[in-house]
Structure 1
Amino acid sequence: MALFKSGNPALNEKTFDKVYSYTGTDSMTVKGTLNKFGILFLLTMAAAGFSWKMVYSGVDVTPYMWPCVFATLGIAVLMVFKMQWAPYLAPIYAIIKGFAVGVISAYYNHAFEKIAPNIITQSVALTFGVVIAMFLLYKFNIIKATQTFKKIVITATLGIAVFYLIAIGLHFANIDIPFLHEGSLIGIGFSLVVVALAAMNLILDFDMIENGANQGAPKFMEWYGAFALLVTIIWLYIEVLRLLSKLASRK
């Protein structure tokens, strides 16, 4: 099953190796996966809107942030081992993650409302511009998900994931890595690299979903594929938002 590799931790070779042990009359389709993604996206947006409103209503949502982060991580890990639960866990993930995204967005909007009043709108527009661009590049075979391409993206993604885990651990020890948040040239360069890496993961995810549909993966994998795509897009949005904030801070 060498076709099934992705930089997205939710989609990898072992993911699809497992699912063919399940039997059923219906199979995964690309259209079905996109429909499921639409549902998850709406849930994410609704939850984000709710938490955004809470922030601007003066509610202190800070105590909820880390529980949300660890809850979504736990759900993601559980879904890797129980992929057949994706129809139930993916919507829960979308709601919790959406809540966190709304809080983060409200924070950035408030922090940069004077020097970059449209930072959220710009981040959303750039994120979906990148998603559309990467889909077209994949669709027209301009960028191909070759084995070499996959290995490079997977290795780089795992490296960034480990680095972020270390950064979180240092944060709890009251130690912050400056270029993660500051608008230095190193910080901006780092964000550009991570944004590019997140974009490259989209190519692998599109390839994964298409191959899963072509090879008749079980129907519940539509939810799993939609969840994985949502993970990548949210990651891309957060990194774009971080990049724009760094650029704005240099004004």
Structure 2
Amino acid sequence: MALFKSGNPVLNEKTFSGSYTYLDSDAEVMTVKGTLNKFGILFLLTMASAGYAWKMVYSNVDVMTYMWVSIFGAFILALIANFKKEWSAFLAPAYALLKGFAVGAISAIYDNVFAKVAPHIITTAVGLTFGVVIAMYLLYKFNIIRATPLFQKIIYTASLGIAFFYLIAIGLHFAHIDIPFLHEGSPFGIIFSLVVVSIAAMRLILNFDFIEKGADQRVPKYMEWFSAFGLLITIVWLYLEILQLLAKLSNRK
């Protein structure tokens, strides 16, 4: 199951920094409300696409080729968005559809594989994901965890390292070489997943901080799409990591 790791970019410090023309007109600047509205659109697109892929899997359609196309397609779109943030209004919805299909297919496969040992693995992963998102938001809102420069550097560096590691793992997988602890329920494998889940969770703090600062600094309106895009990527990453962790724990039973 290691091949189902998140390989998405938007995981480096430069993604969340840059030079913008700060505007005076309220209609042309980023707002928190506008960002959340756009995130809602992206989330609905993701769920719709995921539901379609789920239905295909349970209709006995071979979705593996489509799944890999969607994974790499989403990866490419995320890379482009890093350099062309002003295109996010088009790239983000396309990413949501592609990544949603991949997430739906992956979820259906896990649901089928663990039907006997962990029949509620998907609902548990979804519930835990939303629980972590809410918890991290509260920790951020009440300044219990702050996005200090040191905190940002640590999370950006760790995220980038994980992204490169997963890209290498995917390459090795296609060469028929798998890294055991990525999918085994060994103590080291579980510790690894716990660390990655923690990094993904901490990444949410950076997303929340970026959205708030972007609104305060009145960056261009298109940054609402880019900010919502980044938040979606983190939440999807977190869900996949939690799902993988639950799968490892189930394998130990």
TM-score normalised by length of structure 1:
0.93
**What's the counterpart of residue 49 of structure 1?**
51
**What's the counterpart of residue 235 of structure 1?**
237
Structure 1 residue 16 displacement after superposition: 3.9
The CA deviation string for residues 170-223 of structure 1, in whole angstroms up to 9 with x for no partner, is 111100000000101010000000000000000011001110110001111101
Distance 2:60 2:190 in 1: 32
User: In the alignment, does 2:89 pair up with 1:81?
Assistant: no
Structure 1 residue 94 displacement after superposition: 0.2
Distance 2:63 2:15 in 1: 37
User: In the alignment, does 2:10 pair up with 1:9?
Assistant: yes
Structure 1 residue 9 displacement after superposition: 2.2
**What SS class does the counterpart of residue 165 from structure 1 fall into?**
helix
Structure 1 residue 155 displacement after superposition: 1.3
The CA deviation string for residues 57-101 of structure 1, in whole angstroms up to 9 with x for no partner, is 011111112211111111011111111111111111000100000
Structure 1 residue 31 displacement after superposition: 0.9
Q: Which amino acid aligns with 1:125?
A: G
Structure 1 residue 14 displacement after superposition: 5.5
The CA deviation string for residues 6-33 of structure 1, in whole angstroms up to 9 with x for no partner, is xx72674464423327897510001110
For residues 120 and 196 of structure 1, do their structure 2 counterparts lie closer, same or farther at Cα, with a shift above 3 Å needed?
same
For residues 65 and 32 of structure 1, do their structure 2 counterparts lie closer, same or farther at Cα, with a shift above 3 Å needed?
same
Structure 2 contact 22–217 (Cα < 8 Å) conserved: no
**What SS class does the counterpart of residue 58 from structure 1 fall into?**
coil
Distance 2:14 2:24 in 1: 19
For residues 14 and 110 of structure 1, do their structure 2 counterparts lie closer, same or farther at Cα, with a shift above 3 Å needed?
closer
For residues 22 and 172 of structure 1, do their structure 2 counterparts lie closer, same or farther at Cα, with a shift above 3 Å needed?
farther
2:222 is aligned, of 215, 220, 223, to 220
Distance 1:171 1:248 in 2: 23
For residues 105 and 118 of structure 1, do their structure 2 counterparts lie closer, same or farther at Cα, with a shift above 3 Å needed?
same
User: In the alignment, does 2:63 pair up with 1:69?
Assistant: no
Q: CA RMSD in A?
A: 1.6
TM-score normalised by length of structure 2:
0.93
Structure 1 contact 198–232 (Cα < 8 Å) conserved: yes
Q: How many residues align?
A: 244
2:132 is aligned, of 124, 130, 133, to 130
For residues 11 and 161 of structure 1, do their structure 2 counterparts lie closer, same or farther at Cα, with a shift above 3 Å needed?
closer
2:164 is aligned, of 146, 155, 162, to 162
For residues 198 and 15 of structure 1, do their structure 2 counterparts lie closer, same or farther at Cα, with a shift above 3 Å needed?
closer
1:203 is aligned, of 199, 205, 211, to 205
List runs of 5+ in structure 2 lacking aligned partners: 1-8
Structure 1 contact 83–221 (Cα < 8 Å) conserved: yes
Structure 1 contact 51–103 (Cα < 8 Å) conserved: yes
Kindly, what percent of the aligned residue pairs are identical?
A: 63
Distance 2:12 2:159 in 1: 12
The CA deviation string for residues 210-239 of structure 1, in whole angstroms up to 9 with x for no partner, is 101100011111011000000000000000
Structure 2 contact 53–102 (Cα < 8 Å) conserved: yes
Distance 1:247 1:183 in 2: 6
2:196 is aligned, of 194, 201, 221, to 194
